[in-house]
A and B are shown apart, each in its own frame.
Chain A
């Protein structure tokens, strides 16, 4: 039979039911769908009770959690719950708010930042990131760039941070900002409203706008050198990405490039009007500055400078990023004619001739593209085809056309580029397939083509083009340029090719996870391992290969020992709000005129200016809504942010489910109890029924303190006590104002202080560990911790926070266990009392902190008043009254094995308090005296209640007097009776926990039995009694004492200490804070 109860909803009623059930001895799971108890719903309920729920050892609080399934029957239910992560570690967050200040995202419709907490002191007082998933743009990026993140940072005008964020993922912001095929934009949800964001151009904006100086503010983090050295073959995007990743991980890298220029296809495939060489040069230069060595004109292979096996001998690993530079042939007659030139070869020659005017490349270009060429047909629909067509135009070929065998929709080329080509005057003939090159005397004169139509979809999902019979026609051209695809040229591998392995398509065969070829230590990625061919894909695969190579270089066995990556978040698909759907058109990219373009290789696109970039970035819908810009992570001093948190599920065995507020639960049958969200009386009533239905007997909370007295200072003469002083910096919340190091240095000179040290965060486990270690090492008897906590009592007051409870839990000063530090502990709040109120006067704030800490030390030197007294409350419950309320209450209590006395006669006299009430009742003409631990009054009317007011002299204290409950006659009787039954059970369970450390204590030898205390205490918690030895003195009922200390203030002989501090301690504190220095 499960002793556990699931409560769904943490409104007032949920909290009440949870606390009643937990106090009575059941384990409670309090499930709240929002990140904060009570959500952001308006409630007048004390926030203190929320914190009590968090602090309660028998309540497990599940925020951001929903019930997904409820199965089983009777009291054997299985509840499945799913928790969405906070992305903030509840054990580390100090609620300082630094994160909120840097968060660039305002959650649409909410008005708060993506990382947020409720205003004031929320429970838990821990930040939460509103991160519903990955933004579609970020999810689409093969390179792992946090796309929404840099867009959000740009919108906030934080360009440097935006650039840093891109650099964390990839080494080429400027290149990608120009040539990326931007899958991010394809996925952009803004397209549902108007058009996708111009994300690529925003990237280009930040990559360009920081010039000069070019370097981003934060250099990428470097790991210490590993002494390993890697050879990389090919300086294209994949090879250089691997270089970037490995250099950052501490490995030395040498890149071998066969061509005279660095950049692979970026430098010899993509034309300069799309990607100026200066952009490549500066981004490569940054890699070189990071330590990447690049050797150009160094061909690897049997007939080159070094073979792959040579590399394996000299280096610890080899990466093959050789790209796909061998063109596919048309396989049509006439292809062997000199006027048929492969597009990729033409592009390479044009690019090298431009970059190296003094080399042999200009002459080679003249051979490929003789001056007589006037008309050219480019065959293909990819970026190579479009690039080469536009280059031919710039080389002076007047008539350039592109022939593509499918339709526009199937073209793999970037649509913007296709449009630009058409604007420059290049016609694209769709559904056209060449079938024969026509030559005359070794010269191309024409190209015979056939028209196509689209048939059934092929394996690529695109509709297969089928020739239309009889549609053949001839295009008159001087030059035919096939650009229908490439594959890697792997001849350089020689004999090693077999060891590495090749796919059917002629690509290098690699393990899909480790990117290692069949030859151990040889890895490959990029175009060399096949499609898709794009810079960003090559970078993405390069990153994954680098990760595996790093593991390999560190001696891990692949693939088994390669760390499993956190599963990606699902894509966020939140509902767009009406106000988000207003059109904000995409900012057009300014370009140079078509006439200016064809005259040379000047960059066509001019880039966004700042105003355009800001306007464009502000179109972002914040899909995440968290942008994953990681700004919070960078500023979080307690290192509480954890973006790797993932959704979790749990199965709970429960005996009952309490559903708070509206809503439905499927399953559970009669073990699902309902209560309205703000009906606290109803919540107690439900708690009583749950207790009774589960048939669990009262269980007392564990009382570790029963056997443990708080250590007293009396065992030492005043100055022999060894005190340690710890001053929390609270990150910089305290340390920015209070000069912590000076205070620490001064503290070591005070009498009794043998050790003093600063702490970064007292409320984290490390803080308590530091204190515990110092107590052990320095033999401390007393500890003063100056932080934000105020007292060591086991209570939650109005201003208490999750952090203070956490701090006290780690220190083990709460009643219910935790780490035990064998020293007296005094807490001083120097944050709310110094740093946060005297920020304008650091010197005085420091002086005040010093005096407050000195006062705590002075307190510690005095004997202590605090002692935990554990006295179980036993005995019967008197249920007084005739009506339904009394009936229900008595019945429910009896079902749980509580002894119940039923009475309904007029009270004559009453005295005592919780645990030892004595009541005399009129019984016909006689009277009868009853002893009870607890009294429940269930009067039928106010008149019925009046005699009790008189005999107890309640004076409005009926609700406060411990152990005296009243079922209000105005309430629904059955509900009221049940509610009181739950409160009685809760009290009996809780009372045995023992009074807190501020309970009154009487020093019997000094007590004169004058009775002043007894007459003062309206709780009846102290009374003069005769002792077994026959003398008289005051005796404290620890369970009933609330620790207010009024008795101590008025005791004429000073026999009572109560209320947290002795007179001597208060006087010592006054002296310390009023001292001259």
Chain B
């Protein structure tokens, strides 16, 4: 599979994270076009299988963006997201995926600049890593 750009899957929750992604758009900020947001209502909706699926499909890296601790729109979702993230990272490690390729972070409401900063920094630190060792599924 020949790839022309780094592709990053950003799982965003529907609230703080997605609003920051949108704010970046409204403010006309620029970030690498290889960033693909997949929105879920809450990061609590994710399980390790979905996160690893992204790597399996060829994502160079996966970023989980949600609400700050204690500020989850649903109260408890991001607590579970932290557990799921830890599990997923352990599994990724077993599969030989560098742990820097998976990150969990949070954003304030409507902070477009922080969104751009976070995705850009995440992509920049990736440049030193090898592409996915997982074979493509097809």
A204-225 contacts to B (CB < 8 Å): none
Contacts across chains A and B counted by CB atoms under 8 Å: 146
- Residue pair A851, B36 in contact (C-beta under 8 Å): yes
A799-B110, A1049-B44 as given contacts; A1073 in contact with B38, CB under 8 Å = yes
Among B2, B16, B54, B59, the residue within 8 A (CB) of A1076 is B2
B54 close to A1074 (CB less than 8 A): yes
Q: Is the CB of B57 within 8 A of A1070?
A: yes
Segment of A359-367, A526-534, A834-842, A1028-1036 engaged in the interface with chain B: A834-842
Contact B26 A1045, beta carbon cutoff 8 Å: no
Given contacts A832-B25, A1042-B74, A1049-B47, contact A1070 B53 (CB under 8 A): yes
Q: At the interface with chain B, which of A374-382, A411-419, A915-923, A1061-1069?
A: A1061-1069
**Contact A1069/B75 with A798-B109, A836-B25, A836-B28 known, Cβ cut-off 8 Å:** no
Encode contact with A along B28-59: 1 for CB under 8 Å, 0 otherwise.
11110110111111101111011001100111
Enumerate chain B residues within 8 angstroms of A1046, measured Cβ to Cβ. Answer: 42, 44-45, 74, 76-77, 80
Give the contact stretch, choosing among B7-15, B91-99, B123-131.
Answer: B7-15
Interface residues of A, dominant DSSP: loop
A1063 and B7 contact, Cβ closer than 8 Å, known pairs A838-B33, A839-B28: no
Provide the residues of chain B in CB contact with A837, threshold 8 Å: 24-25, 28-31
Cβ contact within 8 Å between B57 and A1074 = yes
| Assembled-state Cα–Cα distance A1049/B49 (Å) | 9
Q: B75 and A1066: CB pair below 8 A?
A: no
Knowing A1046-B45, A1050-B47, A1066-B40, the reply to whether A839 touches B21 (Cβ < 8 A) is no
Q: A632 at the A/B interface (Cβ < 8 Å)?
A: no
Known: A799-B23, A839-B30, A1016-B80. A1059 touches B36 (CB 8 A): no
Residues of chain B lying within 8 A (CB to CB) of residue A799: 18-19, 22-23, 26, 110
CA distance A838 to B77 in the complex (A): 32
For the complex formed, measure the closest distance between the CB of A52 and the CB atoms of chain B, giving whole angstroms: 15
Contacts of A229 in B (CB 8 A): none
- A1059:B42 contact, CB within 8 angstroms: yes
Q: How far is the CA of A1076 from the CA of B30 in the complex (A)?
A: 23
A1049 partner, pick from B3, B34, B58, B80, beta carbons under 8 A: B80
Find B49's partner among A1043, A1058, A1063 (CB 8 Å cutoff). Answer: A1063
Which residues of chain A are near B74, meaning CB under 8 Å? Answer: 960, 1019, 1042, 1044, 1046
Count of chain A residues with Cβ under 8 Å from any Cβ of B? 53
- Whether A178 is near chain B, meaning CB under 8 Å from some CB there, is no
- Of A836, A957, A1045, A1049, most buried by chain B (CB within 10 Å of CB) is A1049
Q: Closest residue of chain B to A1067, judged by CB?
A: B53
Contacts of A1044 in B (CB 8 A): 41-42, 44-45, 73-74, 77
The answer to whether A832 touches B26 (Cβ under 8 A) is yes
* Contact of B63 with A by CB under 8 A: no
Interface size on B, residues (CB 8 A): 50
- Rounded to whole angstroms, the CA-CA distance of A1061 and B73 in the bound complex is 18
* Cα A406 to Cα B23 with chains together (Å): 71
Of A790, A797, A1058, A1070, which contacts B54 at CB under 8 A?
Answer: A1070
Binding site secondary structure of chain B: loop
**Nearest residue, chain B, Cβ from A957:** B75
Is there an interface contact between B58 and A838, defined as CB atoms closer than 8 Å? no
Listed residue (B19, B29, B58, B76) with the most chain A CB atoms within 10 angstroms of its CB = B76
Q: Are B3 and A1069 in contact (CB under 8 A)?
A: no
Given A829-B22, A837-B24, A1049-B44, A1073 contacting B76 (CB threshold 8 A): no
A956 touches B75 (CB 8 A): yes
Q: In the complex, which residue of chain A has the Cβ closest to the Cβ of B36?
A: A1073
**B65 at the A/B interface (Cβ < 8 Å)?**
no
Question: Complex Cα distance A55/B47, Å?
Answer: 34
CB neighbours of B75 from chain A (8 A):
956-957, 960, 1018
Residues 93 to 129 of chain A near chain B (Cβ within 8 Å): 120-121
State whether the Cβ of A547 lies closer than 8 Å to any Cβ in chain B.
no
Task: Please state if A1048 and B45 are interface contacts (CB–CB under 8 Å).
Answer: yes
Give min CB distance, B9 to chain A, whole Å: 6
Tell me whether B30 and A832 are in contact (CB under 8 A). no
A806: interface (CB < 8 Å): no
Q: Tell me if B117 is interfacial: C-beta within 8 Å of chain A.
A: no
Q: Is A848's beta carbon under 8 Å from chain B?
A: yes
User: Which A residues between 831 and 887 are near B, CB-CB below 8 angstroms?
Assistant: 831-834, 836-841, 844-845, 847-848, 851-852, 855
| Cβ–Cβ contact B40 & A1060, under 8 A | yes
Residues of A within 8 A of B15 (CB): 797-798
Check if A1074 sits within 8 Å of B58, measured CB to CB: yes
CB-CB nearest in chain A for B46: A1049
Residues of A within 8 A of B39 (CB): 790-791, 1060
CB proximity to B under 8 Å, residues A463-492:
none
Contact B109 A1070 (CB under 8 A): no
- Distance, CA A1066 to CA B48, complexed state (A): 13
Q: Name A1063's closest neighbour in chain B (CB-CB).
A: B50
Task: Determine how close the nearest CB of chain A comes to the CB of B1; give it in whole angstroms.
Answer: 5
Which residues in window 10-30 of A have CB below 8 A to B? none
Q: Which of A831, A836, A1019 has the most CB of B within 10 A?
A: A836
Determine whether the beta carbon of B36 is less than 8 Å from that of A832.
no
Establish whether residues B53 and A1049, one from each chain, have CB atoms under 8 Å apart when the complex forms. no
Q: How far apart sit A364 and B31, CA to CA, in the bound complex (Å)?
A: 83
A residues near B57, Cβ cutoff 8 Å: 1067, 1070-1071, 1074
A1045 touches B44 (CB 8 A): yes
Chain A residues positioned under 8 Å from B42 (CB to CB): 1044-1046, 1059
The yes or no answer to B64 lying at the interface (CB within 8 A) is: no
Enumerate chain B residues within 8 angstroms of A844, measured Cβ to Cβ: 5, 33-34
Q: Does B102 have its Cβ within 8 Å of any Cβ on chain A?
A: no
The answer to the question of A148 belonging to the interface, with a C-beta cut-off of 8 Å to chain B, is no
A198 at the interface (CB under 8 A from B): no
CB contacts under 8 Å to B, within A810-834, are 829, 831-834
Q: Identify A1073's interface contact among B9, B30, B45, B49, CB under 8 A.
A: B9
Instruction: Report the bound CA distance from A149 to B32 in whole Å.
Output: 44
CA distance A857 to B77 in the complex (A): 28
A1045→B50 CA distance, assembly (Å): 13
Q: Tell me the minimal C-beta distance from A537 to chain B in angstroms.
A: 51
Q: A201 an interface residue at 8 Å Cβ cutoff?
A: no
Measured between alpha carbons, how far is A184 from B9 in the docked complex, in Å? 63
User: Which residues of A are interface residues toward B (Cβ below 8 A)?
Assistant: 120-121, 790-791, 797-799, 829, 831-834, 836-841, 844-845, 847-848, 851-852, 855, 956-957, 960, 998, 1016, 1018-1019, 1042-1046, 1048-1050, 1058-1061, 1063, 1066-1067, 1069-1071, 1073-1074, 1076
Ordered by A's residue number, 7 sampled pairs between the chains whose C-beta atoms are within 8 Å are A791-B39, A829-B22, A832-B24, A845-B33, A1060-B41, A1066-B38, A1074-B59
12 more contacts with CB within 8 A, not counting A832-B24, A836-B28, A1016-B76, are A797-B15, A799-B19, A837-B24, A1042-B74, A1044-B77, A1045-B41, A1060-B41, A1067-B57, A1069-B38, A1070-B50, A1071-B57, A1074-B58
| Interchain residue pairs A-B with the least CB separation, the first 9 | A832-B25, A1045-B45, A1046-B44, A798-B19, A844-B33, A799-B22, A1044-B74, A1044-B42, A836-B25
